[in-house]
Amino acid sequence: AGDGDCGHTHARAAQAIQEWVRARPPPAAPAQLFSALADLLLEKMGGSSGVLYGLFLTAAARPLLNRSDLPTWADAMDAGIEAMQRYGGAAPGDRTMLDSLCAAAQALHALRSPGAELLPVLDAAVQSAEAAAEATRHMEAGAGRASYISSARLLQPDPGAVAAAAVLRAMLEGLRS
C-alpha cells in the first residue's frame, strides 16, 4: 500500500528500542521518556514513520512536563496527533496511521472523566484503533505513499494504521503484565 517499507521501519524501531533499554534504564518521567524515544526514532527508525512518530512524541511530551495525571495523558495524545497533522498534512479519513491514532484518542478522552480507570479506557482505545485500522481497507488514500497507488490495488488495511494500532496494543499488554 506504499513502497513496502512500513514493516522494515517498524522493525528497525523495535530493534533500536530493545537495544536502548538493554543498554540503560529508560527515563522514569513520562516527558523525558517521550523526548528520548522521539530522538531515538528520528535517528534509527527512518522513513516518514520515524519522522511522524518523532513529531508525535515530542509534542506529546509537552503536556507531561509538569503533570502526568490521567486527563493529561489524553492531552498528550491530542498534542501528538495535532503535531502529526500540522507537519504531515494528513487528516483522519486519509488512510494513514492517523486513522488509528485519532480513533484511540477519542476513546482516551474518557480519561478526562472523574473516576476514569486507566486499563479499561486503554483497552477501549486499542480496540478503537484496531477497528479504525481495519476500516482503512475500504478508504481512498488521501495522503502518504499509498496515495500514489491506484485505489483498485489497495486491498489491505493501511500498514501505518495497522502498525500504530499494534504499537498501542503492545503498550496495553506491557501495562497489564
Which has the minimum average pLDDT: 22-31, 115-124, 131-140? 131-140
Q: Give the pLDDT score at 1.
A: 46
Indicate if the pLDDT at residue 149 is higher than 50. yes
Report the pLDDT averaged over residues 88-112: 93
Integer angstrom CA distances of residue 14 from 52, 91, 135: 16, 26, 25
Q: Is the distance from CB of 90 to CB of 144 less than 8 angstroms?
A: yes
CA 143 – CA 130 distance, rounded (Å): 20
Q: How confident is the model at residue 52 (pLDDT cuts 50, 70, 90)?
A: very high
Report the pLDDT averaged over residues 95-118: 96
Q: What mean pLDDT is reported for the chain?
A: 90
Residue 165's contacts (CB-CB under 8 Å, 6 or more residues apart) are: 100, 104, 126, 129, 130, 132, 133
Indicate if the pLDDT at residue 96 is higher than 50. yes
Indicate if the pLDDT at residue 148 is higher than 50. no
User: Taking the mean position of all CA atoms in its chain, how far away is CA 164?
Assistant: 5
Indicate if the pLDDT at residue 89 is higher than 90. no
Map out the domains of the chain as residue ranges: 5-176
Report the pLDDT averaged over residues 161-166: 94
Tell me the whole-structure pTM to 2 decimals. 0.89
- Higher-confidence residue of 103 and 149: namely 103
Indicate if the pLDDT at residue 147 is higher than 60. no
Q: Give the pLDDT score at 154.
A: 59
> Where does the chain have alpha helices with state H?
6-23, 30-44, 47-61, 70-88, 97-108, 118-135, 159-176
Closest CA to 6 of 170, 146, 150: 146
Indicate if the pLDDT at residue 155 is higher than 90. no
CA 30 – CA 74 distance, rounded (Å): 13
Report the pLDDT averaged over residues 130-135: 96
Q: Give the pLDDT score at 41.
A: 96
Terminal-to-terminal C-alpha distance of the chain: 34
Closest CA to 92 of 156, 35, 135: 135
Which CATH code for domain 5-176? 1.25.40.340
Closest CA to 38 of 20, 57, 52: 57
Report the pLDDT averaged over residues 9-22: 95
